Amino acid sequence: MGREAASGPLLLDTHVWVWYLDGAEDRMPSAVQDLLRAAAASSGLLVSDISVWELGTKAARGKLRVMPSPAAWVERAGRQPGLSFVPLDRPILLGSTQLPGDFHGDPADRMLVATAALSGVPLVTADQAILDYAERVGGFAVVDARH
């Protein structure tokens, strides 16, 4: 899906969520920044609960630093206007195990793809593996957040 074609709610990949809330939007093209702002204005920024898990896991391993702590960062994130969390439910959990074609085994990525596919909401990502999978297999929309 082209950057200009997306409208309505957007599901944020974990790294896009972090970039957006930490003010690192410049890591994304201006067209994607505009989409995020428009989605936020209509309460359409969605973050999967698996991203909370992924953020905590990366912070615990020293691969991501969020201040003052992961719990405080997520609490602050939950108060951001226009942003809401998407719970993991049984259809998403099962769907992540039954993705068509060949996709890598990262559980967070699999659950994000399943969430996008089941909800019909585009996934905003700069993850090349997810972008390639979407192009190769289809079944869900993506917004390319790479420069």
Q: Is the predicted pLDDT of residue 17 greater than 50, yes or no?
A: yes
- The confidence score (pLDDT) of residue 114 equals 98
User: Does any domain span residue 31?
Assistant: yes
User: Does any domain span residue 4?
Assistant: no
Give the CA angle between residues 55, 5, 115 to the nearest 5°: 35
The count of domains in the chain is 1
Report the 10 Å Cβ neighbour count for 61.
8
Share of the chain above pLDDT 90, in %: 92
Task: Determine the Cα–Cα distance for residues 136 and 102; give it in Å rounded to an integer.
Answer: 9
| Boundaries of domain holding 118 | 10-144
User: Does any domain span residue 106?
Assistant: yes
Length of the chain: 147
User: Does any domain span residue 5?
Assistant: no
Q: Is the predicted pLDDT of residue 5 greater than 90, yes or no?
A: no
- The confidence score (pLDDT) of residue 25 equals 83
Reported as a single tens digit per residue, the pLDDT across 36-87 is 999 999 999 999 999 999 999 999 999 999 999 999 999 999 999 999 999 9
Residue whose C-alpha is closest to residue 3's, from 119, 125, 138: 125
User: Does any domain span residue 92?
Assistant: yes
User: Does any domain span residue 28?
Assistant: yes
Q: Is the predicted pLDDT of residue 6 greater than 70, yes or no?
A: no
User: Does any domain span residue 61?
Assistant: yes
User: Does any domain span residue 1?
Assistant: no
Q: Which CATH number belongs to the domain containing residue 52 in this structure?
A: 3.40.50.1010
Q: Is the dihedral of CA 121, 25, 57, 109 positive or negative?
A: positive
pTM: 0.94
